[in-house]
């Protein structure tokens, strides 16, 4: 059982690396969708027996992170002609290296955390921190608005992964609220993205230079 | 009395606004909804101390104070709205009206929620409700502001979720059943795992601090406030930020209950002073009036954090300042909105001699400036002075001295911009005159807000003093 879980988590981290190394926007969205699908399997494996609660969370995150949000993003960039992230602030190779470094640090760092004994063995915490780090890296170094939204998705996936340790503490209603907020956030971001494209004829946030000191 | 109507009533009015077909009559829903909400809040406050431990929603003293703040602020803004939207009759206002009501519903939910998850969902919902409102003017600059607001706000709030998870884990790490229910956490506070608790506090402070606009996470603020319509600016600066501060206070209460106040308080003092420094630096020679107000908001968020960090009497001052700040921000943002309309510009290059063109709005703006910078006899003077007195009495003369020096710096920086706006000769009417003049529907709501600020400075009503006392005792986990 635990081997399957570790396999899934390795897949999650590999998708982080893939996202950091690719320049194609569509591939990025697909990577985040795939990560969403993989994540949906994790709640079923964290605990020994599968509870109804875990099953609902798995289905919810599969639908939201695997399908709804990626489709919203793809719809938002339907008319956008440029499909590549050009000139990130940090090059793709460099961000890949940074991502690897981040994952390594996450592993070391988690080893020192006072985790509950039943979680000490699991690789859930390092995978979560590595994904959060990936999200931050994409948010800060990519210039296209769409790539930043995907970065936000990775950040959210990482936090979701940590939240799975607390599956008993989170009432289902709150989980639903969190997922719903995510959908609405990406929906609103999609609308704004569309307007940005129409107004500025580009979705480069470097065009956003009117408002600064 | 059940707390639910406080959330459901504005939600219902938001639905009414959404369904109403007439662009002309829709804004009337706002004052009706606001007065209903205010009446409900007053009924709840008058109802006394039946703190029904319903678990998820609770009317503790802190919640009552925030509800009062939000209701009073929203009433001013909503009374102003029909006049404003009548001037802007060319713009569809369906989203604007329902969005504002939704924001108030969610802020009420945030105020009362005793569950960290619910609190998070509520604050995220206020962000999402505000973003489309920022785009009301549909200019490229408004779009840029809405994007920054949404993205930075979402990242901040995502961090807050991580912090909430850390907090829940601090229970799990000591083999207790974990829960995000606030009352359970308070009861279990002394046994929580300290490293996780510290991590949770820092992460939540950064997350909700972003929402609140504490420096250096304030970068969305000048853009958003600069482009927002006056009403939304007031609601963001007085409502949304108050909600985020409440979240930080709830976390602070938990730290106090866990006996970790000495860890949390210096961090808050530092963040508070840092925000004031940022505000003072960027306020100097600020040409954009609305951006100046944004930095003023950063400053006052700093004062709130500082007061909470010093604690004791300063906590009382900070909570009182929360109410004062919200009402004074209503005066400032709404009067600047009028001036902006009269001159068709918000840069001091074009706006001079406002006293000549829109005398009432300009006088209100000047009074609002005096109030927010802590001049007697307005409310903020009392609260800012209380914090200073507490800082010196508590043996923190360095923080107290810096605080007073920064207040003075802000006064000077802000004063030069404000005086340039109100005094002097109006530019020749042909160039920038939009033909807009003062009218009662756009000045009386501001007068009302100013009277509240003035009243709070002259006389603090007994029940309010009592509420502030109980709220500060609650945050500091004193019996």
Q: Rounded mean pLDDT of chain A?
A: 82
Mean pLDDT value across chain B: 89
Assess whether pLDDT exceeds 70 at residue B431.
Answer: no
Contact criterion met (CB < 8 Å) for B144 and A210: yes
User: Best mutation site among B173, B188, B223, B228 for testing chain A: the one with the most A CBs within 10 Å?
Assistant: B173
Q: What is the pLDDT of residue B345?
A: 84
Kindly determine whether residue A213 and residue B145, on different chains, have CB atoms separated by under 8 Å.
no
pLDDT score of A170: 72
Look at residue A73 in the predicted model and tell me its pLDDT.
Answer: 85
Burial (0-12, 13-18, 19+ Cβ within 10 Å), B308:
buried
Q: Which residue blocks in B88-115 are alpha helix, DSSP H?
A: 94-112
Nearest residue, CB atoms, B195 vs list A114, A139, A211:
A114
Residue A88 has pLDDT above 70, yes or no: yes
Tell me if B223 and A211 make a contact (CB, 8 A cut-off).
yes
B residues 264-303 lying closer than 8 A (beta carbon) to A: 282
Summarised one tens digit per residue, pLDDT across range B135-147 is: 888 888 888 888 8
Q: B75 is written with which tokens?
A: 């009433």
Q: Is pLDDT larger for residue B310 or for residue A81? A: B310
From chain A, the residues in CB contact with B168 under 8 A are: 166, 169-170
**HEC-encoded secondary structure of B324-376:** HHHHHHHHHHHHHHHHHHHHCCCECCCCCCHHHHCHHHHHHHHHHHHHHCCCC
The most confident of the ranges B166-170, B366-370, B436-440 is: B366-370
Please count the residue pairs, one from chain A and one from chain B, whose beta carbons lie less than 8 angstroms apart.
115
Residue whose token pair is 């956490």: B185
Question: For residue range A191-210, what is the model confidence (pLDDT) as tens digits?
Answer: 787 777 777 666 667 666 66
């504005």: which residue's tokens? B10
Q: Which of B118, B178, B227 sits opposite A169 (nearest CB)?
A: B178
Residue in A109, A134, A174 to test binding to B, most B beta-carbons within 10 Å = A174
**Residue range B150-159, pLDDT digits in tens:** 889 989 999 9
Residues A69-75 have a mean pLDDT of 87
> Could you say which DSSP state residue B57 is in?
B
Residues of A with Cβ-Cβ distance to B175 under 8 angstroms:
116
Tell me, what's the ipTM? 0.89
């Amino acid at each position: 059982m635990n081997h399957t879980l570790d396999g899934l988590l390795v897949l999650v981290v590999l998708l982080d690396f893939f996202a950091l190394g690719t320049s194609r926007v569509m591939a990025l969205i697909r990577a985040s969708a795939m990560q969403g699908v993989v994540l949906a399997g994790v709640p079923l494996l964290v605990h020994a027996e599968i509870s109804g609660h875990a099953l609902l969370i798995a289905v919810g995150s599969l639908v939201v992170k695997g399908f709804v949000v990626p489709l919203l993003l793809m719809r938002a960039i339907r008319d956008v002609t440029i499909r590549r992230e050009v000139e990130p602030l940090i090059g793709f190779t460099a961000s890949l290296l940074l991502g690897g470094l981040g994952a390594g640090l996450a592993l070391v760092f988690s080893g020192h955390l006072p985790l509950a004994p039943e979680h000490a063995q699991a690789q859930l915490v390092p995978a979560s921190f590595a994904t959060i780090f990936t999200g931050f890296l994409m948010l800060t170094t990519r210039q296209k608005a769409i790539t930043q939204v995907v970065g936000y998705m990775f950040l959210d996936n990482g936090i979701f992964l940590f939240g799975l340790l607390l599956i008993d503490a989170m009432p289902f209603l709150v989980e639903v609220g969190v997922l719903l907020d995510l959908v609405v956030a990406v929906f609103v971001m999609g609308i704004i993205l569309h307007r940005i494209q129409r107004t500025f004829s580009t979705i480069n946030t470097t065009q956003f230079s009117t408002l600064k000191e | 009395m059940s707390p639910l109507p406080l959330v459901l009533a504005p939600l219902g009015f938001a639905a009414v606004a959404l369904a109403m077909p007439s662009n002309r009559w829709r804004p009337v829903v706002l004052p009706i909804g606001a007065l209903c909400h205010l009446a409900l809040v007053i009924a709840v406050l008058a109802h006394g101390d039946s703190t029904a431990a319903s678990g998820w929603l609770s009317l503790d003293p802190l919640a009552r104070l925030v509800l009062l703040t939000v209701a009073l602020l929203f009433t001013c803004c909503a009374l102003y709205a029909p006049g404003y939207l009548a001037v802007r009759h060319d713009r569809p206002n369906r989203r604007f009206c329902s969005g504002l009501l939704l924001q108030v519903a969610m802020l009420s939910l945030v105020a009362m929620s005793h569950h960290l998850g619910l609190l998070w969902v509520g604050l995220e919902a206020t962000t999402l409700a505000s973003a489309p409102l920022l785009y009301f003017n549909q200019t490229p600059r408004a779009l840029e502001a809405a994007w920054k607001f949404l993205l930075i706000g979402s990242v901040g709030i995502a961090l807050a979720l991580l912090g909430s998870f850390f907090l829940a884990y601090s229970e799990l790490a000591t083999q207790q059943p974990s829960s995000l229910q606030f009352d359970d956490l308070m009861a279990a506070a002394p046994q929580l795992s300290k490293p996780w608790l510290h991590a949770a506090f820092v992460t939540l402070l950064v997350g909700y601090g972003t929402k609140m606009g504490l420096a250096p996470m304030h970068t969305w603020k000048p853009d958003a406030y600069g482009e927002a319509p006056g009403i939304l600016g007031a609601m963001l600066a007085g409502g949304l930020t108050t909600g985020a501060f409440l979240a930080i206070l709830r976390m602070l209460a938990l730290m106090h209950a866990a006996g970790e106040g000495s860890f949390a308080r210096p961090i808050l003092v530092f963040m508070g002073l840092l925000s004031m420094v940022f505000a003072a630096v960027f306020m100097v020679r600020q040409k954009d009036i609305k951006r100046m107000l944004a930095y003023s908001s950063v400053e006052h968020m700093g004062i709130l954090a500082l007061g909470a960090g010093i604690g004791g009497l300063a906590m009382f001052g900070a909570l009182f300042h929360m109410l004062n700040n919200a009402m004074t921000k209503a005066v400032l943002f709404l009067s600047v909105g009028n001036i902006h309309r009269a001159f068709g510009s918000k840069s001091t290059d074009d706006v001079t001699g406002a006293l000549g063109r829109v005398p009432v709005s300009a006088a209100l703006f000047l009074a609002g400036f005096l109030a927010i910078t802590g001049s007697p006899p307005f409310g903020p003077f009392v609260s800012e002075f209380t914090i200073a007195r507490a800082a010196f009495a508590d043996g923190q003369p360095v923080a107290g001295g810096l605080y007073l020096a920064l207040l003075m710096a802000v006064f000077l920086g802000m004063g030069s911009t404000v005086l340039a706006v109100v005094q002097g000769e109006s530019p020749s009417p042909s160039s920038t005159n939009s033909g807009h003049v003062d009218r009662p529907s756009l000045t009386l709501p501001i007068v009302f807000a100013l009277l509240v600020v003035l009243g709070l400075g002259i006389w603090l009503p007994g029940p309010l003093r009592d509420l502030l006392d109980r709220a500060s005792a609650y945050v500091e986990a004193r019996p």
